[in-house]
């Protein structure tokens, strides 16, 4: 699933390529406003909140989309057609005045709303480290509301802190040296939030560092635990473990950890069996 840094980078690419362009013709093909024409609108810019993309038009409307697991955006050159099998997945189409076409493919969330009402779509999310209104104190406060909640579940909850997906949650658990199913209150929340913000910003803005958590971009060495089930921990050599799903997570995401580098804190509930 794309994470906050993924969507932020997408926003930067779309912004550089299409902001200021007028839509010659195009439409929404899914969502509550399916069939709505977007012709005549000019793209004023883009914004993100967590994993959500906001495309703003000059008529005071915003297109709110979410990629989830399968969605993507692609921009084709003038005169170039998408393959039929790909076009069938189009949920948004924007043909620009210069002939290029912007396609939102297989998007599970497509919503058109007044720009002044964007809060209806993303206002309930927690602070986002990649936004100018980032509020670390508020993120810490929200995470501290349920100190007994498992680390992974707390950080995956976008109402606590926005933009962290499964990769970053697992890697942050390793970097903080805490078992992923330990209570979130067992770690220093101020230090955790500061680390999460720093990691996301580096990943989103520094060339060559996209989702590299070890500092090593070599094949198979860019992550401490994610994707390394059964392989030696890059720090201590202990076999990395994995659970097939996070308890209570509808996406049933995997969780990886090193049992030596990430011991369960003394006195804490052991959580799911290992």
Active-site residues, by number, are 2-3, 51, 253
CB 98 within 8 A of CB 137: no
CB 2 within 8 A of CB 51: yes
Which residue, chain included where needed, has tokens 């550089």? 16
How far apart, in whole angstroms, are the C-alpha atoms of residue 14 and residue 55? 9
């Amino acid at each position: 699933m794309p994470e906050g840094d993924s969507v932020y980078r997408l926003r930067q690419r779309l912004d550089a390529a299409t902001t200021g362009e007028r839509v010659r013709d195009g439409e929404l093909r899914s969502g509550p406003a399916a069939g709505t024409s977007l012709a005549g609108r000019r793209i004023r810019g883009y914004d993100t909140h967590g994993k959500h993309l906001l495309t703003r038009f000059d008529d005071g409307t915003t297109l709110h989309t979410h990629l989830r697991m399968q969605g993507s955006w692609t921009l084709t050159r003038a005169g170039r057609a998408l393959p039929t099998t790909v076009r069938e997945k189009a949920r948004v189409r924007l043909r620009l005045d210069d002939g290029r076409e912007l396609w939102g493919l297989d998007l599970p969330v497509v919503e058109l709303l007044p720009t002044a009402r964007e809060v209806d779509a993303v206002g309930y999310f927690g602070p986002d480290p990649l936004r100018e209104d980032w509020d670390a104190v508020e993120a810490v406060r929200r995470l501290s509301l349920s100190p007994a909640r498992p680390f992974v579940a707390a950080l995956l909850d976008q109402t606590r802190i926005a933009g962290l997906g499964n990769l970053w949650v697992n890697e942050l658990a390793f970097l903080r040296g805490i078992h992923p199913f330990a209570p979130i209150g067992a770690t220093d929340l101020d230090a955790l939030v500061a680390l999460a913000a720093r990691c996301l910003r580096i990943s989103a803005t520094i060339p060559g560092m996209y989702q590299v958590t070890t500092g090593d971009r070599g094949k198979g060495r860019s992550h401490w635990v994610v994707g390394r089930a059964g392989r030696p921990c890059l720090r201590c050599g202990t076999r990395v473990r994995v659970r097939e799903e996070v308890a209570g997570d509808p996406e049933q995401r995997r969780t990886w950890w090193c049992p030596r580098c990430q011991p369960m804190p003394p006195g804490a509930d052991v959580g799911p069996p290992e």
